Each structure stands twice: as C-alpha cells, then as structure tokens.
Amino acid sequence: MKIRRGFVSNSSSSSFVIAVKEGELTEEKLLRAFGVKKDALLYPIVSQMAKWFVKYSKFSTPEKILKEYTYGDIVDLPDYLGKALKIGKIYLGSAYSDGDEIEQAMCMMEINFENDELWMYKEAGY
C-alpha cells in the first residue's frame, strides 16, 4: 500500500528500476533492449523513450537502497529490488501521468524485460 502525504490529485505515478549488468545506463543499451531498428516507423518514439529513461533514472548504490527500503536486510526488499541488486548497477526513477507525452506513456505502459545488457521492472502505478 502506498501512502501519499500532502496534496493528492487525480494523477498517477509509477516507479521503475533498471539494473545494468556492465557499465552505465545509456540510450544505446536501451535502444538495443527495445529492439526497434532505426528505419522502423516507431523508432523516433522509442528513441525519445530511451532518452527519457537515461535522463530521469538516478543511479543508486546497494547501501542507499538497503537504507531506504529496509532495516538493512536484503530479505526485506521487494522481490524486484532484490533481483536488481544481484544483477548490476541500479538506476531508479518514477514517471507521472501529468508529465509530457513520453512520461505519460512511461507511467501507463508495461515495461518489464531482460536481455544480456540490462534488466528492467516497472511497478504498477497509483
């Protein structure tokens, strides 16, 4: 259950975690993960999505995650964060339905996948 303090609107939000197996989170890695070729009709949109994820994903250390989400024990973490910690460098972020068009799409879409370079999980919004 999520508890919001302060003003509550009709907007929705959704959190996501991206674990990069080697190196940093880059637009190129996300584009390869999404699997859309440059000559595809959807490429401009997918490219904007990749740029958005890179811009709004914040790197987090395992120590920060354990401190923020648990009492210091990995078994208290939500399953998806526990998995991300085992994979590699972790990036966290949120999307809001009252943002721009790309952010609205990120908030509403199912975006869960894994390939050789990265793993991504988006939790349901509220």
Tens digit of each residue's pLDDT (9 = 90 or more) over 31-73:
988 888 999 999 999 999 999 999 999 999 888 887 776 655 5
Structure pTM? 0.78
What is the Cα–Cα distance from 119 to 17, expressed in whole angstroms? 8
Tens digit of each residue's pLDDT (9 = 90 or more) over 6-24:
544 556 888 889 999 999 9
Give me Rg for the CA atoms of the chain: 15
Kindly state whether residue 80 falls inside one of the protein's structural domains: yes
Kindly state whether residue 31 falls inside one of the protein's structural domains: yes
What's the total number of domains in the chain?
Answer: 1
Q: Which of the four pLDDT bands, split at 50, 70 and 90, describes residue 75?
A: low
Checking DSSP bridges between strand 118-122 and strand 89-96, what pairing results, if any?
A: unpaired
Three-state secondary structure call for residue 23:
coil
Distances (CA, A) of 83 to 8, 29, 41, 118: 31, 19, 34, 12
Domain that holds residue 55: 13-122
